[in-house]
Structure 1
Amino acid sequence: MASLQGSQPEYHHFIPQFILENFSHKYSFSPCGSKSAPGRGKKNKKTNFYPGDPVLNIIDFKNEVPQFSESPVKRTFGFMDMCRDISNISDYYYLEKEIGKLESWVSVIIAGIRKALESGKSGISILRNERGILRKFVFLMKCWGQGFHGSFHGDESGNHNEDDKDCFKKHMQEKEYQNPVDVWFRSIKTILELKMDLKGK
């Protein structure tokens, strides 16, 4: 029997990497007594970073006294299996793939805007469909944040205990959803599939 697609745990960002990279810098590490050599260089065993890895300056609150630290872009502002939909047995991570497609389109649009502004242009123009893509992306990011993740994944028992819990429970029963997170996944899927203002109305 073939293995299910997306069965391995994955790290999912709620702030896209193409945005985080604008605030990152390359990690620098030179072990005492080592000589520079071509290639990627040796990994810092303490941080598990390689020289040149994109990292972010952060404040680490894990200890009693907060400390300034560095965190890799690929493992910052996200969760493991954030959008793992076990109800879709053919591909647990289909939502992540669709979000990735949207992020790719948006990154190209934003890169064009940045290039125009950095060249000294006082204004820019974008196509109607590009505007629609940006609007969809902004709204999706609102629903894709850390707060929504915590709310829809529920408490330790998996229950949704926000102020709207009574209405939420009724909605789940009407739509025959099994878990609070199913509502979230359905909402994200609806946003992704929405056709934005194609006729300019």
Structure 2
Amino acid sequence: MPSMDTKPEYQHYIPQFLLRNFAHQYAPPGKSKAGKSGRRSRKNKMYPGDLVVNSLSLTDPFSLDECLVKRVCGLENMYENPAKPVNIRPRLEKQFAEFEGRASRIYRQIVNAYKNGNQDVWLGRAEKDVLRKFMALLTFRGNQYYQRYNVDSVQEYHEDDKEILQAYMSKHGFTKPVDVWLQGLEKIIDLDMDLDIGAKDDEEDGENWEQRIRESIYSPIAEMFIEHMSAMYMAICTPASDDEEFILTENCYNVTEGQTTAYYDSRTGKHVTLSPRFHMFAPISPRLIIVLRSNLLPDPLVDADPECKWWRQFERLLFFGSQYGSGTRSILEDLPIRKARNNYMDVVNGMLAPRHGWNQQLGMSDRFHFTIFQIPTRHVQTINGLLIDHAFHGSRIIFDRKDLFLDLMEWYLTEPWDD
């Protein structure tokens, strides 16, 4: 634990550069936002001009409030490693700061492209990989994973993988489950994902990095990371209507879309719930969101080739159907998105074909064309509804415009959901 002389450090699990996209300048009640009294509100410790976000507090009773960007979506000393001297700033925090800097520049490219009226954005392979890894890290470093592993001993850990975790800790000399979590975060940040010679396609850069991460960290974290990186593709979306926005929840990066199935595990004597990961979500701003979509769901260009469509449907039945039932569908099955185009494939007669002169070798100079897809109201509502459904894992919902948020909540509370 930190010493009495060590000031607790507030560490964000949602980066401030993303929170700022939802922020505005604080104006005390009764003053315009341009008003500059220079006096701080005693109640909430905010100065005029401070960056704040609108939020719905989920503590009882629910209330609408404003929160300082620098004091929301984080925890004090979240990455504190008890095994290290308290006067040394944790290496993990420095790693995150450096990696966030790289990721923030890519996010800025996307935001600026949208603000400039562009309908697409080009990213290099390295930029794409940094963005994908950063999104995975936002999933793993969130409050849900922290609360899962932040117990004093493995005896206090009550998840289904307790025996596996105990064996891993014993093998590697860890005394607390949180050490396993911290190790996983460090190794993922350090993982070199530059293109391997065995690369297969634009979303699957060979198997060498997969093998390295499996050998380096706790297997459930490793397998989730690999699935996050390889089993889904990335698309950028914006509401088609100007009167709709995306929300941001504290656990949004842990939300997965897929119908939950419950069953009794006779081996353990426990009731277990499982759900397919059809989609995951990463809000960028009130008007932009990154959606990760399973490679096994329909894609117009892939399905234009009958053989590719047959294989996709077969793998879907094999993977999803065998576990959750052959009729299991996504509520975003018809989301109008597709995989990014690239500079080494063309569309010929509605199907993907290698570009003339391509040497059949993937490289770090490859570039990817991401369309900013305009999605209709029902899909915007569905995505926001899923984020609200899981918001109870956190303490607040962040939004931009109050009128649009109240319209969303009215829809959420009154409209039936189609499962």
* TM-score, normalised via structure 1 length: 0.85
Instruction: Give the distance between the partners of 1:25 and 1:188, measured in 2 at CA.
Output: 32
Q: Which residue of 2 aligns with 1:48?
A: 45
Flag the 1:88–1:158 CA change in 2: closer, same or farther, 3 A: farther
What count of residue pairs does the alignment treat as equivalent? Answer: 191
Query: Are the equivalent residues in 2 in contact too, given 1:55–1:73 (CA < 8 A)?
Result: yes
Q: In the alignment, residue 85 of structure 1 is paired with which amino acid?
A: N
Instruction: Give the distance between the partners of 1:65 and 1:79, measured in 2 at CA.
Output: 22
Q: Which residue of 2 aligns with 1:115?
A: 112
Following TM superposition, by how much is the alpha carbon of 1:106 offset from its aligned partner in structure 2, in angstroms?
Answer: 0.8
Q: Which residue of 1 aligns with 2:160?
A: 163
Identity %: 31
Q: In the alignment, residue 125 of structure 1 is paired with which amino acid?
A: W
State whether structure 2 residue 103 is matched by structure 1 residue 75: no
**Which is strand-richer, 1 or 2?**
2
Following TM superposition, by how much is the alpha carbon of 1:184 offset from its aligned partner in structure 2, in angstroms?
Answer: 0.5
Q: Which residue of 1 aligns with 2:384?
A: none
| Aligned match for 1:196, one of 170, 176, 193 | 193
Q: Which residue of 2 aligns with 1:142?
A: 139
Q: Which residue of 2 aligns with 1:65?
A: 61
Question: Rg: which structure is higher?
Answer: 2
* TM-score, normalised via structure 2 length: 0.42
Query: Are the equivalent residues in 2 in contact too, given 1:136–1:196 (CA < 8 A)?
Result: no
Instruction: Give the distance between the partners of 1:58 and 1:42, measured in 2 at CA.
Output: 23
The alignment yields a C-alpha RMSD, in angstroms, of 2.5
Following TM superposition, by how much is the alpha carbon of 1:20 offset from its aligned partner in structure 2, in angstroms?
Answer: 0.8
Flag the 1:152–1:47 CA change in 2: closer, same or farther, 3 A: same
Equivalences for 1:126-141 in 2 at 5 Å?
A: 126-141=123-138
Instruction: Give the distance between the partners of 1:175 and 1:74, measured in 2 at CA.
Output: 36
Instruction: Give the distance between the partners of 1:186 and 1:119, measured in 2 at CA.
Output: 41
Query: Are the equivalent residues in 2 in contact too, given 1:155–1:161 (CA < 8 A)?
Result: no
Unaligned runs of 5+ in 2: 200-419
Q: Which residue of 1 aligns with 2:19?
A: 20
Q: Secondary structure at the match of 1:58?
A: strand
Following TM superposition, by how much is the alpha carbon of 1:124 offset from its aligned partner in structure 2, in angstroms?
Answer: 1.8
Equivalences for 1:21-36 in 2 at 5 Å?
A: 21-29=20-28
Instruction: Give the distance between the partners of 2:164 and 2:93, measured in 1 at CA.
Output: 28
Post-superposition CA distance 1:35-83 (Å, at most 9, x none): x66xx71101111100011111122234x42111111111111110000
Unaligned runs of 5+ in 1: none
Q: Which residue of 1 aligns with 2:226?
A: none
Following TM superposition, by how much is the alpha carbon of 1:21 offset from its aligned partner in structure 2, in angstroms?
Answer: 0.9
